[in-house]
Amino acid sequence: MSDSWTPPEGSWASSAARRRNMQAIRSRDTKPERLIRSMLHAQGLRYRVAARPLKDLRRTADIVFGPAKVAVFIDGCYWHGCPEHYVSPKTNPGYWSAKVAGNMARDRDTDQRLQEAGWTVLRFWEHEAAADCAVRIAAEVDKRRRGTGTGTA
């Protein structure tokens, strides 16, 4: 019996180590999310975490201000195709490039559905300064709570 693991045909993982690495990546409560949430909380803002803005849409936003109808997404540079930082992988590039393209298409569809339902959608890249993100989010929530929001950002 060999200690080396061979992925099944058509598998997304190129090795057991790669599989463990990819499974360990957090989909919520990432460091950028926690930092931004901490700054928002310090400003007295309250929100829901990893919540569905629309009950009939099986997608969650990272931070949701329900009454103000503001949905915040902090997108990972790799998983969401950051134009500054995304680099196509050398291993299994067909699978991963298609996966990221699908994520990007789903992001655009989510934005459109939320905006059609009267929500403001704010998207930030994980590399953006948390303080800048928190300022923009707080300003938008305040604007929407005062009734001067437009529904798009």
Spans of all domains in the chain: 26-144
CATH topology of domain 26-144: Endonuclease; Chain A (3.40.960)
65-88 tens-digit pLDDT: 999 999 999 999 988 999 999 888
Tell me what the mean pLDDT of segment 106-134 comes to.
Answer: 98
Extract the tokens encoding 124. 């930030």
6-23 tens-digit pLDDT: 444 555 555 666 556 655
Return the ∠ at Cα 121 (arms to 153 and 61), rounded to 5°: 160
**CB pairs under 8 A, 24+ apart, for 64-70?**
65/141, 65/144, 67/145, 68/120, 68/141, 68/144, 68/145, 68/149, 69/117, 69/118, 69/119, 69/120, 69/144, 69/149, 69/151, 70/119, 70/120, 70/122, 70/137, 70/140, 70/141, 70/144, 70/149
Q: Which helix (H) or strand (E) holds 112?
A: helix 93-116
Determine if the pTM surpasses 0.75. Answer: yes
To the nearest whole number, what is the mean pLDDT of the chain? 87
Asked if residues 65 and 141 have their Cβ atoms less than 8 Å apart, the reply is: yes
DSSP state of 40: H
In which band, very low, low, confident or very high, does the pLDDT at 26 lie, cut at 50, 70 and 90? Answer: low
